[in-house]
Amino acid sequence: MNWSVLTLKDFHFLKDCLLSAGLEGSDTSLVNIFLLQKKYDTKTAMEKGFLFRYYSGAENRTGYGFPLKLCDLKMSEEDKNHTLKEALALIIQDAKEMNRAVKFCLLTESQKTQIDSIFKSYFPDFNLEWQTNRDDCDYIYLRQNLAALQGKSYHKKKNHVSRFQRIYEGNWEFRSLNLCSISEDMIFVAQQWLEERLATVEMGDDDKRILNLEHDMIKSALENKNDFALDGGVLYTNGKPVAMTLASKISDKMLDVHFEKCLSEAAANGAYAAVNWCFANASDSYEFLNREEDMGVEGLRKAKLSYHPDNLLEKFYSV
């Protein structure tokens, strides 16, 4: 295969022809594929009507992603009709040519099952064994639940939002990215959050590198916000930006929340709950919000679980 880094030109092509119906995982968000290339040393290839991905990250992020089907009017009928079986044959051939193992990563259970079925029927010499990691599960929520915060389960969250509204009564607002020019305010919040984090949390050089890389991804996303058709918003108190969220489309039903940051003073007054609630209400064209994984961070896991996900989307990798 002709592996390369995904360019903006490639992104525009894929935006128009990637068949996104049924996609749920954050790894299948085109914006994520583009932004995380450096972090996971991802390469992409478009062959025979599929988008192929190869990840060179650590441990459970090494291997081929699930082949994503394309539909492009410029393709021949033969290419359009290629099946997953033929896509997997290309992966097997590529692995042989590149002298690397036939390994897969970031597959949902449905995708894993499809691959197992095809390998059993057509490639019996390959026996894939699978593992999953709780740290990699995507948290998927019914958007309406996060917008309404109704019922006993959301009582504490609703109290956090109410407390925020009382403290900043008449002096807060939420502005949506697709309605306002707020990119600079988003970067301001992200920069201030990063500086607070570096100043108050002890961490190693690798953790610092990852945080700085994440900040670069936020800036890169906003530099290309029109190309990426980003969603998101900024929460203001007393006219100053204190929290931000940034998201993009996975499918017509699913929105992927890539980043959410909140400055510490406002966070102590309920701003995380408030920006989450505001954004859920502003995203009423989507049925689900994917708020991505918790990476095994205890505090993050507790926070994500407290919003009662509709689904913990498992990700599998072959060993």
Query: What secondary structure does DSSP assign to 179-208, as a single string?
Result: TS--HHHHHHHHHHHHHHHHHHS---HHHH
Backbone angles phi, psi at 53, to 5 degrees: -130, 140
Q: Rounded distance, CA 253 to CA 286, Å?
A: 5
Tokens of 142: 């019914």
Q: Rounded distance, CA 157 to CA 141, Å?
A: 15
What is residue 237's predicted lDDT score, i.e. its pLDDT?
98
CA dihedral 303→110→108→31, nearest 10 degrees, is -100
The total of other beta-carbon atoms located within 10 Å of residue 196's CB is: 16
CATH number of 138-292: 3.40.630.30
What is residue 66's predicted lDDT score, i.e. its pLDDT?
97
What is residue 76's predicted lDDT score, i.e. its pLDDT?
59
pTM above 0.85, yes or no: yes
Q: CATH 3.40.630.30 occupies which residues in the chain?
A: 8-136, 138-292
| Architecture label for domain 8-136 | 3-Layer(aba) Sandwich (3.40)
Burial class (CB in 10 A: 0-12, 13-18, 19+), 85: middle
Q: Residues of the chain whose pLDDT is less than 50?
A: none
Cβ neighbours for 35, distance < 8 A, ≥ 6 positions apart: 217, 220, 221, 258
What is residue 78's predicted lDDT score, i.e. its pLDDT?
57
What is residue 180's predicted lDDT score, i.e. its pLDDT?
83
Tokens of 240: 């100053």
What is residue 74's predicted lDDT score, i.e. its pLDDT?
59
Burial class (CB in 10 A: 0-12, 13-18, 19+), 133: middle
Contact present, 118 and 273 (Cβ < 8 Å)? no
What is residue 59's predicted lDDT score, i.e. its pLDDT?
76
Q: Cite the beta strand spans of 57-162 per DSSP E.
A: 62-64, 68-69, 130-132, 138-142
Contact present, 105 and 55 (Cβ < 8 Å)? yes
What is residue 273's predicted lDDT score, i.e. its pLDDT?
97
For 213-263, the pLDDT digits (tens) are 999 999 999 999 999 999 999 999 999 999 999 999 999 999 999 999 999
